[in-house]
Structure 1
Amino acid sequence: MKILHTSDWHIGRTFHGVDLLADQASVLNTIAALVREHGVDVVVVPGDIYDRSIPSSDAVTVCNRGFEAIRDAGAIIVATSGNHDSAVRLGAGASFAAAGGLHLITRVGQVDLPVVVEDEFGPVVFYGIPYLEPEITRVELDVPRARSHSDVLGAAMARVRADLTGRQESDPKTRSVLLAHAFVVGGEATGEERSISVGGVETVSAAEFDGVDYVALGHLHSPQMLSERVWYSGSPLPYSFGERSHRKAALLVELDGSGLVSTSRLDLPIVRGLRQLTGTLEVLLSSSDYDDAEDCYVSALLTDPVRPIDAMRALHTRFPFAVHLEWQRPEGNSELKYRDAVRGRDDIEIARGFVSAVRSEPTEGEISLMEAALGSADRADEATAELGVSA
C-alpha cells in the first residue's frame, strides 16, 4: 500500500496580509498530481487543514476542491483536526463525507475507531488522534487529573493499542498507521507554529507511539524524521520568513505484508520564493544581485542613513510581492542601553537624539519648537513646585 503524508495546509492563512488562497490551490493540485503519478492509495492529513476555526467561504471552496482533486486522482483521504481547526466545524458532515472516501476524525470518541483499508496483504487500520487540549478532553479520556499533552495523548494511545491488539489477534496481517497532531520531543519548530501549551506541558515523547507501523505527525512545519517510523511531513507552503530555507515536501510511505518498507520525500514545487534583502533603497532597486527576487515574497531591511519616504511603494515598482519592510540606521547599536545613551545629556540633546534615531536629524525650526516645548514644561514644573511650598 502507498500512503502520502501531508499536513498543516492552513487553508485561508494570509502572509503579511497577502491572500495565499491561489498558492494553496496550486499546491493542493500538485499533491493530487503526485497521488496519480505514484499510484497512492491513501492520503493522510494530520491536522490544521484550515488556519482558523471559522474559515472563510473562499477557504472552504479551495479546501473542498483540493479534496475532490485528490479523490479524483484515486486516493482515499484520512484527516484529523489540529489546534487551528475547529473540530466541531471540520467534523460536521463527517459520516456523509466518509461515504465519498473522505474520513474526518475530529472527536475523542473516534480515536479507537479506525478507518480500515484493504490491500493484497490484508487490512491496514488508520487511527486518528486529533489535537487534544488537556482541559477539554481529560474527562472524556477518563484521566481527570491529566494536565499535560503527554497525559491525554497517552490515554488516547491506550485506547488505540487496545483496539489494535484485538484486531491483530483476530488477523495477524493487520498493519497500522496513526495520525496525530502534537509537538513531539526532538521535533524542530520554526517559530511560526502556534503554541499548544494551554494549561499544560506541550511536548510528548515519541515513545508514546510505540507499536504502530507508521506515525504521521502534524503541527511542525518542516519535514523531519524523529525515528524510522515517526515523521513530520511539514506544511506544503512556507508561512513565515523563518521557513524560507525549507524545501517543502510530502512523504511517500510504502507498506508491505510485514509493515513499513520505506519513507521517501517527494519535494513540492516552490510556488513563490521568499527572500530577505538588506541594503539601501537605491541599491535594492538598482542592483542586478536581486534580479532573482523580483517574483518572490520580499522582506526588506533598509539601511539608509535617513528613513526613505514611501519606501514600500518604491519597492513595489521592482518587487511587486514585497510584504514586509524595516528601517535600521547603519550606525545604530541595539546593544546600547538607554540610560547609557542619555547619561550627561540635557533635555534638548536627548530630544534631538530621539528624533534623529527614529527619523532623521531635526531641522532648526523643529529644534526651536522642541526648545519652546521643554521651556514650557519647565515653567509648569516651577509653578507647581511654588504652589506646593505655599500650601
Structure 2
Amino acid sequence: MPTFLHTADWQMGRAFSRFETEDGAALVEARFEAIEKLARLAKEHQCDAVLVAGDVFDAQTVADRTIRRVFNATREFTGPWVMLPGNHDAALAESVWTRARRLAAVPDNVHLALEPGVINLEHQGLAILCAPLTQRNTYSDLTEAFDTWETPDGLARIGLAHGSVQGLLPDEIDSTNPILPNRAQTARLDYLALGDWHGTRQIDERTWYSGTPEPERFRNNEAGYALIVNVPGPRETPGVTPVETARYQWHQWRETLTVESDLDRLLDRLKALPEPSVVDLRLEGAVTLAGEEKLINALSVAEARFRSIQCDRSGLQLEPTDDDIAALKADGYVGEVIEHLRTRQQDDDAQAARDALAILAGLLKDRKQEASE
C-alpha cells in the first residue's frame, strides 16, 4: 500500500522583475522554502517517494547556484525523488539536467527521468511510467506509450507526465504537449501524476494536476498545494489529499468605485487579508478628495503589512464634492482651476489632470493646516 507525494511546476530560477527588489527576492526565496516544506511533508506523511511532474526549473539557463540549491532543498526527505523534465526544462541533448550532473549536484536518491521508460522502485512498491519532454513542444501524446509498457507484478502503476489534458483545460494551453483524457484507463494506471497546469485540479479519480507548491502569478486556480496519494491496492481507487504548501497568497482585484460604501468595502477586504499576501489592485470609477485621502492612508498601511501591494489608480477619477471644496476654502480662481481639472479628467491626459488635482488639493490642505497653527 504505497504512499507518495505528487508535486510539479516549481519553476525554480523564475524572476519577479515586476516587483520591488526586496519583494522579488522574498518571492524567489519562498520557492526554495517550498521545496524544503515538500521534503518535510513527505517525511511527516511517511511517503515512499516524491514525484515531480515537470518544470522543476523555469529555464535551461538558470544559474549553477540555483541548481545546487534546488537539490540541497530536498535533503530532509531521504527516500526516492523522481524528477521529470517539462516544457521549461526539457531533456535536450544539452540542458539544465546535464549541467546538474556535471556539477555533481544530483543526490543519489534523486532519479532524473530524462528518457521515456519505467523507473521501478521495488522496495517502495512503485513502477513509475515516465513521459519526459525532450523538446519544449510536442504535438503527439507522449503518454500513449504507457499503454504498451509492462511493469512488474505487485507494483503500483503510476504515470508521470507534463502536458495538457485535451478538451478539459482552457483552449490556450490545449495546443501542444497533449494528453488523452482517459489515459489512466487505457494504460491501466493506478494513478496519473500530471504537471503543467499550475493549480490543483482533478481530472478523474485517478488523474490529477498537483499545481505549483508556491503561487507565482495572479490566477485563482487553487495553486499552492501538493498531493499526498495513497494507493490501497491494484486497480483500487487511490486516496488523494491536497496539502497546503504556499507561503504567500496572491490576490488580483479589479474594482469600480461609484459610491462611498464601495471604498469602505474595499478597505475592509484589504484589512481582512493575511500579512503574507501579494496584492495587485486596479481601481476605476470616482472617489472624493476625502475618499482619496482615506485610500492613500490605507494603502500606506497595507504596504507595511503585506509582502507586496501594487495599486493602479489611473482609471480612478477625483470628484471633489462641494464639502471637499468648501473644506479647502477653494473659492475664486482656485475654485475655477479645480473645476477645470475635474473636467480634464475626461480627456486623453486624464492621468496628468488627476495628479494635478491631487497635488493642488494637498497644497490647499497643507496651507489650511499651517494657517491654523
TM-score in terms of structure 2 length: 0.68
Query: 1:56 aligns to what?
Result: 63
Query: 1:117 aligns to what?
Result: 121
The whole-number CA distance in structure 2 between the counterparts of 1:249 and 1:315 is 29
After TM superposition, the structure 1 = structure 2 runs for residues 250-329 of structure 1, keeping only pairs within 5 Å, are 250-276=226-252, 278=255, 287=267, 289-293=269-273, 295=275, 296-303=277-284, 315=299, 318-320=302-304, 321-329=307-315
Query: 1:357 aligns to what?
Result: 350
Contact 2:345 2:351 in 1 (8 A): no
How far the C-alpha of 1:318 sits from its partner, in A, is 3.1
User: 1:257-297: per-residue Cα shift (whole Å, max 9, x none)?
Assistant: 524452322321441222345478x968x945522347221
Contact 2:190 2:234 in 1 (8 A): no
Q: Taking structure 1 as reference, are residues 133 and 86 closer, same or farther at Cα in structure 2, changes over 3 Å only?
A: closer
Query: 1:226 aligns to what?
Result: 203
How far the C-alpha of 1:182 sits from its partner, in A, is 0.6
User: 1:189-231: per-residue Cα shift (whole Å, max 9, x none)?
Assistant: 5x9xx9584xxx5533223442222111000011111112111
Give the alignment partner of residue 83 of structure 1, picking from 78, 83, 87. Answer: 87
Contact 2:283 2:313 in 1 (8 A): yes
The whole-number CA distance in structure 2 between the counterparts of 1:26 and 1:178 is 27
**SS of 1:206's equivalent?**
coil
Contact 1:46 1:218 in 2 (8 A): yes
**SS of 1:215's equivalent?**
strand
Letter in 2 for 1:206: P
Query: 1:185 aligns to what?
Result: 166
Sequence identity (%)? 21
**SS of 1:67's equivalent?**
coil
**SS of 2:33's equivalent?**
helix
Q: Can you give the 5+ residue segments of structure 2 that lack an aligned partner in the other structure? A: 319-343, 357-373
Query: 2:321 aligns to what?
Result: none
User: 1:334-371: per-residue Cα shift (whole Å, max 9, x none)?
Assistant: xxxxxxxxxxxxxxxxx9954443432799xxxxxxxx
Query: 1:105 aligns to what?
Result: 113
How far the C-alpha of 1:175 sits from its partner, in A, is 3.0
**SS of 2:74's equivalent?**
helix
Contact 2:4 2:229 in 1 (8 A): yes
Q: Taking structure 1 as reference, are residues 257 and 263 closer, same or farther at Cα in structure 2, changes over 3 Å only?
A: closer
Query: 2:362 aligns to what?
Result: none
**SS of 1:49's equivalent?**
coil
Give the alignment partner of residue 24 of structure 1, picking from 31, 38, 59. Answer: 31
**SS of 2:97's equivalent?**
helix
Query: 1:388 aligns to what?
Result: none
How far the C-alpha of 1:11 sits from its partner, in A, is 1.4
The whole-number CA distance in structure 2 between the counterparts of 1:261 and 1:98 is 34
How far the C-alpha of 1:162 sits from its partner, in A, is 3.5
How far the C-alpha of 1:81 sits from its partner, in A, is 0.8
**SS of 2:303's equivalent?**
coil
Query: 2:327 aligns to what?
Result: none
The whole-number CA distance in structure 2 between the counterparts of 1:326 and 1:188 is 30
Greater Rg by CA: 1
Q: How many residues align?
A: 307
The whole-number CA distance in structure 2 between the counterparts of 1:362 and 1:298 is 23
Query: 2:369 aligns to what?
Result: none
Query: 1:203 aligns to what?
Result: 178
How far the C-alpha of 1:94 sits from its partner, in A, is 5.2
Q: Taking structure 1 as reference, are residues 302 and 204 closer, same or farther at Cα in structure 2, changes over 3 Å only?
A: same
The whole-number CA distance in structure 1 between the counterparts of 2:288 and 2:349 is 9
Letter in 2 for 1:23: A
Q: Taking structure 1 as reference, are residues 331 and 235 closer, same or farther at Cα in structure 2, changes over 3 Å only?
A: same
Contact 1:47 1:80 in 2 (8 A): yes
Letter in 1 for 2:303: F
User: 1:307-327: per-residue Cα shift (whole Å, max 9, x none)?
Assistant: 999x99994553243353322
Q: Taking structure 1 as reference, are residues 312 and 14 closer, same or farther at Cα in structure 2, changes over 3 Å only?
A: farther
More divergent stretch after superposition (176-185 vs 9-18)? 9-18
How far the C-alpha of 1:59 sits from its partner, in A, is 2.8
TM-score in terms of structure 1 length: 0.65
After TM superposition, the structure 1 = structure 2 runs for residues 230-245 of structure 1, keeping only pairs within 5 Å, are 230-243=207-220
How far the C-alpha of 1:4 sits from its partner, in A, is 0.7
Contact 1:352 1:362 in 2 (8 A): no
**SS of 2:271's equivalent?**
helix
Query: 1:143 aligns to what?
Result: none
Query: 2:129 aligns to what?
Result: 127
Q: Is 1:246 aligned to 2:222, yes or no?
A: yes
The whole-number CA distance in structure 2 between the counterparts of 1:255 and 1:361 is 61
The whole-number CA distance in structure 2 between the counterparts of 1:362 and 1:230 is 53
Q: Is 1:2 aligned to 2:11, yes or no?
A: no
**SS of 2:77's equivalent?**
helix
**SS of 1:246's equivalent?**
coil
